[in-house]
Structure 1
């Protein structure tokens, strides 16, 4: 495997340092990765939309460098999956299903100019540690290591349903950007250094977002565009 990710560090839970490890996930982790999905997306979320063994195996077959997880004191606490894509800023509109082949990432392009986040999941009991941001930072390192132009990904807007009667999706994003509304996903991505590109309609079946998402990017500061 090229560009293997392995990083050990400490995070603080109150005043107690806790040992954490970011690494590439492997076949031995599949059972726990699926369990993490079940905790992050409990019923009534459909079980068939969690990761399955076939999808996870496909991640390792197509782009093992982009299969990333984080451990806390030896327990698997979260994961992030990504692939390489060829991105044209003139045609940014797409769906999650099309760009990821429904999560199997057989659309991975070894010559792609961008890294694309497929999924990020953190066990609820570990979310106070900021592991989502840690995993996101690991993708920035991978973008730099591979010499890619940017990191991309569609961010759900789970707070939008509450405001949809009064705001279009674009107007809702502007309110989040202005700080007048806090969205659980978009605000998190902004804190991670991601920048909005455009609103994506019919991106992913998601009742809370009314199927909208925001294409968010992080540009490689070492690449000349």
Structure 2
């Protein structure tokens, strides 16, 4: 199981945090985090429910991480293992994550797929999302997987949808001409775009598009 203690910084002040696997006792906090992280117009039916969380901690506990600040859970990240075929990359979030229930988790899969990541708004200045992402990279290395992959929302796209295609929008973000709240964050975490996927998630701000972004295990050549 995973547990890491480190310091993040609030200005110049070091703040101790713990990153660990979440457990059933954490469910009430995790449910509240979903509501805070994904307010309207994000569909409430896509927030976690208890059955989904039970599946996370039983089917793939290694991919169920949370981060604590002063004993309070401030964020979480969840994944499952899949066999991703780069030659057939199109899919929806609901399809590849079993609508968040991860009953399709493949223990022998070579790709850790990100189901969800969220940090409470009041804690976002501490870069907790970045540390959760880095911790999941460590899970990829520990399990000797090929990559971490996930579909990122692109919530800034609706402002530009009348002027450019989603692919052009992502290219503009990668060039630094535009900034997207999610895609730019993922770039800063070391993720690279693979392709834009239509009808990825019911998401008004992203016009239902998602951007597949990966982090390749730098040791994957030796794994093969």
Q: Structure 2 length normalisation: TM-score?
A: 0.97
Deviation at 1:223, TM superposition (A): 1.1
2:133 maps to what in 1?
A: 136
> 2:196 is matched with which residue: 189, 196, 199?
199
Unaligned runs of 5+ in 1: none
C-alpha distance in 2 between matches for 1:165 and 1:8 = 46
2:17 maps to what in 1?
A: 20
- How many residue pairs match? The answer is 222
Deviation at 1:42, TM superposition (A): 2.6
1:107 maps to what in 2?
A: 104
C-alpha distance in 2 between matches for 1:173 and 1:45 = 21
2:150 maps to what in 1?
A: 153
What's the secondary structure of 1:65's corresponding residue?
A: helix
What's the secondary structure of 1:20's corresponding residue?
A: strand
Contact 2:22 2:65 in 1 (8 A): yes
Unaligned runs of 5+ in 2: none
**Structural mapping, 1:30-69, within 5 Å:** 30-69=27-66
Deviation at 1:49, TM superposition (A): 2.2
2:4 maps to what in 1?
A: 7
Deviation at 1:43, TM superposition (A): 4.1
1:165 maps to what in 2?
A: 162
What's the secondary structure of 1:161's corresponding residue?
A: helix
Contact 2:194 2:214 in 1 (8 A): yes
Q: Alpha carbon RMSD of aligned pairs, Å?
A: 1.0
| Residue 212 (structure 2) pairs with residue 215 (structure 1) | yes
C-alpha distance in 2 between matches for 1:43 and 1:120 = 17
Q: Structure 1 length normalisation: TM-score?
A: 0.96
Structure 1 runs (4+) deviating above 6 angstroms are none
2:79 maps to what in 1?
A: 82
Deviation at 1:17, TM superposition (A): 1.4
